[in-house]
Amino acid sequence: MEEKKQPSTGGSHFVGKKDELIEAKRSFRTLEGRDVLIIHHQGGFYAMDSYCYHAGGTLQNGDIEEIDGKLCIICPKHKYKISLAKGECIYKGTDPREKPPVPRWYSKGVKQRTHTVTEINGDIYLKLSEDTNWIESDYYQGEKGKVERAKA
Ligand code: FES
């Protein structure tokens, strides 16, 4: 009998069947001690740390909206807007030097750690971010942040 060759997953974790994750829309997984939210929205998969970088709000039930051309999850706690693709926090502000000031969208930069989702033959794999820089959402994945979240 011919042996079936398993695809190489290169440090990725199997997180579920594509159809199941599409149906679920939002799925929560703990991988290597990290709590991650997997989102399926408008035909695409996204993954990010599941607690908001701002004060540890649970993003799982946040609404998703397109803002300034970016799909964003809106944290239910204080309504911060975080892009699904990059974890960038965006906000509406005005530049006081502008006369008259016109409100527009600005970026606070990447605040939420995002992870890579890939599909191999109907199976979905997630590879955790290997960015060695501190990203603010890391705080709520650590011991101190977990204690703080539990108190909130
Ligand atoms: Fe998410 Fe404050 S905890 S906006």
Going by C-alpha positions, the residue among 50, 79, 55 that lies closest to residue 65 is 79
Fold of the CATH domain 13-145: Rieske Iron-sulfur Protein (2.102.10)
- Please give the distance, rounded to the nearest whole angstrom, from the Cα atom of residue 43 to the centre of ligand 1: 26
Q: Give 117's strand partners.
A: 126
Structure confidence at residue 149 as a pLDDT band (50, 70, 90): confident
Those residues whose C-beta lies under 8 Å from the C-beta of residue 67, and which sit 6 or more positions away, are 81, 90, 105
Q: What is the ipTM of this complex?
A: 0.99
Q: Ligand 1 mean position to 24 CA, how many Å?
A: 23
pLDDT in tens, 37-85: 999 999 999 999 999 999 999 999 999 999 999 999 999 999 999 999 9
> Among 49, 72, 74, 75, which is best to mutate for testing ligand 1, by the most ligand atoms less than 8 A from CB?
75
Q: In this predicted model, which residue has the larger pLDDT, 8 or 56?
A: 56
Give 79 Cα–ligand 1 centroid separation in angstroms. Answer: 6
